[in-house]
Structure 1
């Protein structure tokens, strides 16, 4: 929707003026997140990886820069775009912390695969992907609030946004801990 506004020359409003004033970061963010979201999901499908072993490596070479670009542009927008009415300093800090953590996970995953430590590579990439997909979960954390109370003010909004990232990282850690014995068995055999 935001990309269509920018490309289609939509009317500049209070909600979108910051994007029109500096469109490059948001365009790069949208494109990189879209690629990262769609191709990244396929990276975790074991059957798909087994059937197309070269695909995982080739897609990873595209996904690492896309994930890093998504994290960096997200932090840039948090720090340098004028805040909206319902943004808060707490939310800006959370966005920078999550963006830094996402980039860190991706870089640690890259370092692990270069050492041929595939179990750690997978674990770091799962964490990075979980943080990157926080916006999807944030839709679910915001929905009940919208239904019951309307648009959240700055503090509830920060809590609801943080809940999306927290849910994703908790689920990612739960999945990794459930799979840990399975990963060790595969590495030993």
Structure 2
């Protein structure tokens, strides 16, 4: 029994470490972007849209940072069982942070000018997955209000998987760079879309493979 508990703790620790590792990619990218906006960086074709309308990108960075980093600790069963109050308090921060990240991302997709290396297909992916993230969080909140803990967990995991997409996207693009060089517009869109799909497939596996019963 002791060995089994230790194994579970090790697995939870590895899971949190992996999720935070993926989270650090968008968090560091967001930090660099914030440094540009606040440090008087030169305005270029790549960042002009952010200088022209900084509020959406600032909200997006803040929302993603809280959602992805804090959200990683919701995957620790021991915390849920032993400190249900912590789980609820964290959830009250995570849900609005996730919605801010999703809606600010949708706003930027619709109203910011498309960067040179992006295209309509990637914009469609961002609209689709951003909407799915917001809907997943909304359904998760609705489920917990009716005390359907199983549905709440499933929808929140799906929303988190989409929110963590930027981390996986960095990996899919890096792999393409190593194998075939820089991607063109179509390849970039497919690589970013594939990362969201990968995350959702992993989420469905977690939902199916490791059900968790909540006592409160």
TM-score by length of 1: 0.93
Given that residues 86 and 152 in structure 1 are in contact (C-alpha distance below 8 angstroms), is that contact kept between their aligned partners in structure 2?
no
2:143 to 71, 96, 112: 112
The answer for the alignment partner of 1:65 in structure 2 is 96
Deviation per residue, 1:94-148 (Å, 9 max, x gap): 1010010000000000000000111110000000000110000001100021223
> Kindly tell me: are residues 187 and 20 of structure 1, through their superposed partners in 2, closer, same or farther at Cα, counting changes over 3 Å?
closer
TM-score, normalization by structure 2:
0.82
Deviations 1:13-66 (A, max 9, x none): 111111111100000000010000111111121112223221111111111111
- Which residue of 2 is the match for residue 38 of structure 1? 69
In structure 1, the residue matched to 2:112 is 81
Query: Does the 8 Å contact 1:12/1:20 carry over to 2?
Result: yes
Shift of 1:9: 1.3
Superposed, which structure 2 residues align to 1:16-55 within 5 Å? 16-55=47-86
Alignment of 1:120-131 (within 5 A): 120-131=151-162
Q: Is the partner of 2:210 in helix, strand or coil?
A: helix
Provide the rounded CA distance (Å) in 2 between the counterparts of 1:67 and 1:22. 21
How many angstroms does 1:152 deviate by?
Answer: 1.6
- Structure 1, unpaired ranges of 5+: none
- Partner residue of 2:179? 148
| Aligned-CA RMSD value | 1.4
The higher relative CO (CA closer than 8 Å, separation ≥ 6) is in: 2
Q: CA deviation at 1:187?
A: 6.7
